[in-house]
């Protein structure tokens, strides 16, 4: 008998050989998702974007954030960040058309992120106000490592794609084929492994800056097209 059969038989024996009714299991599982407000934290009153920014910049997440009106203002926002941190004018772009098409003026940009890059710029598909998380789906325009290699990570997220709770993200993508990786990123990389003291920049970025774009008449990143309704 294969290990698979051995294990499944042992499970069934442990459950008194009761036959699972898949429909009943599904109903029970769904019932466990009811009345979510009773079992998740409350959001502060007011606009979702304000709750999101408050969370991102709180000591819990310890990132910085700013709002811009239009995506065309992103290069200027990046420039301000570089100047404020005394960084050279080289940035690595997540290979998304919407970023590549921007006018980066005097900044030297490179398609794709290298292991020793100082500044990387990316686009998150969603923001989550509950936790201050940014959500990325790996894909042709979203290499996974682009979010982990640079020392400074500047991430753009559209205001309309900010969701209230983690659960809302799960609902938004339910039934779709998941990407290789869904990365929820909440703040910079950190560790408390030496005597419990927190140090940022463990293996991933040491700094996270979030730029929220109010107006997004410009193009979406590729995968957005396959997720209608995700932004509602």
Partner 1 sequence: MQEAPVSFKLRADRALADPTLKIAIDRTTGTAERKRTVAMTQFPQFEAARERGKRIKDHVIANLDHYLLEFERNAIASGAKVHWASTAEEASQIVVALCKQANAKRVTRVKSMLGEEIGLPHALDEAGIERVETDLAEHIVQLGGDRPSHIVWPSMHRTREQVSEMFKRAHRVPHQEETIEAMVASARRELRDKFLSADVSISGANFLIADTGATCTVTNEGNAELTTTPPRVHIVTAGIEKLVPSTEHAFLMLRLLVRSATGADVTQYTTFHCGPKQAGDRDGPEEFHIVLVDNGRTRMLADPALKEMLRCLRCGACMNHCVVFRQLGGHVYGGTYPGPMGAVLTPVFDGLEQSRDLAHACTMNGKCQEVCPVAIPIPTLLRGWRDRSWREGLEPAAARFGLGIHTFVASRPRLYRLGTAIAIKVMRLFSRGGLVRGMPGLGAWTKYREFPAPAKRSFMAMYKDSEGKR
Nearer to partner 1, 55 or 158 (CB): 55
Asked if 181 touches partner 1 (CB under 8 A), the answer is yes
Q: Is 76 exposed, middle or buried (0-12, 13-18, 19+ CB in 10 A)?
A: middle
Q: Which stretch binds partner 1 (CB under 8 A): 5-13, 70-78, 85-93, 213-221?
A: 5-13
| CA pair distance 119, 153, nearest whole angstrom | 6
* Residues 192-211 interacting with partner 1 (rule: CB under 8 A): 192-197, 199, 201-205
Cα–Cα distance, 53 to 55 (Å, whole number)? 5
How far is Cα 129 from Cα 49, in angstroms, rounded to an integer?
7
Is residue 10 near partner 1 by the rule CB under 8 A? yes
What does the alpha-carbon distance between residue 151 and residue 141 come to, in Å, rounded to a whole number? 20
- Selected from 131, 154, 157, 221, the binder of partner 1 by CB under 8 A is 131
Binding mask 12-31 for partner 1 (x = CB under 8 A): xxxx----x-x--x--xx--
Count Cα neighbours of 225 within 13 Å in the Cβ-side half-sphere.
6
Q: Decide if residue 226 touches partner 1 (CB under 8 A).
A: no
Based on the shown chain and the rule CB under 8 A, indicate whether residue 191 belongs to the binding site for partner 1. yes
> If we measure between CA atoms, which residue out of 189, 82, 186 comes closest to residue 130?
186
Give the total of residues touching partner 1 (CB under 8 A). 74
Question: Closer to partner 1 at the Cβ: 69 or 180?
Answer: 180
56-115 residues in contact with partner 1 (CB under 8 A) are 60, 95, 112, 115
CA pair distance 67, 98, nearest whole angstrom: 18
Q: Please identify, using beta-carbon distances, which residue of 77 and 185 lies nearer to partner 1.
A: 185
């Amino acid at each position: 008998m294969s290990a698979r059969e051995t294990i499944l038989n042992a499970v069934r024996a442990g459950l008194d050989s009761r036959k699972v009714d898949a429909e009943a299991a599904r109903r029970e599982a769904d019932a466990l998702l009811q009345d979510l407000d009773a079992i998740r934290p409350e959001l502060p009153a007011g606009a979702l974007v304000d709750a999101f920014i408050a969370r991102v910049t709180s000591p819990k997440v310890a990132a910085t954030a700013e709002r811009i009106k239009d995506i065309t203002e992103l290069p200027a926002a990046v420039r301000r960040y570089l100047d404020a941190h005394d960084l050279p004018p080289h940035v690595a772009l997540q290979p998304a058309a919407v970023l590549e098409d921007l006018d980066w003026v005097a900044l030297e940009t490179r398609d794709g992120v290298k292991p020793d890059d100082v500044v990387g710029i990316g686009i998150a598909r969603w923001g989550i106000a509950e936790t201050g998380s940014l959500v990325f789906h790996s894909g042709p325009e979203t290499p996974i490592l682009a979010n982990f290699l640079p020392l400074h990570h500047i991430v753009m997220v559209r205001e309309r794609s900010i969701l209230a709770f983690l659960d809302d993200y799960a609902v938004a993508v339910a039934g779709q084929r998941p990407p290789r990786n869904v990365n929820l990123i909440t703040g910079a990389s950190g560790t408390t492994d030496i005597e419990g003291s927190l140090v940022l920049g463990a293996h991933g970025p040491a700094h996270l800056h979030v730029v929220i774009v109010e107006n997004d008449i410009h193009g979406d990143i590729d995968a957005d097209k396959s997720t209608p309704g995700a932004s509602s």
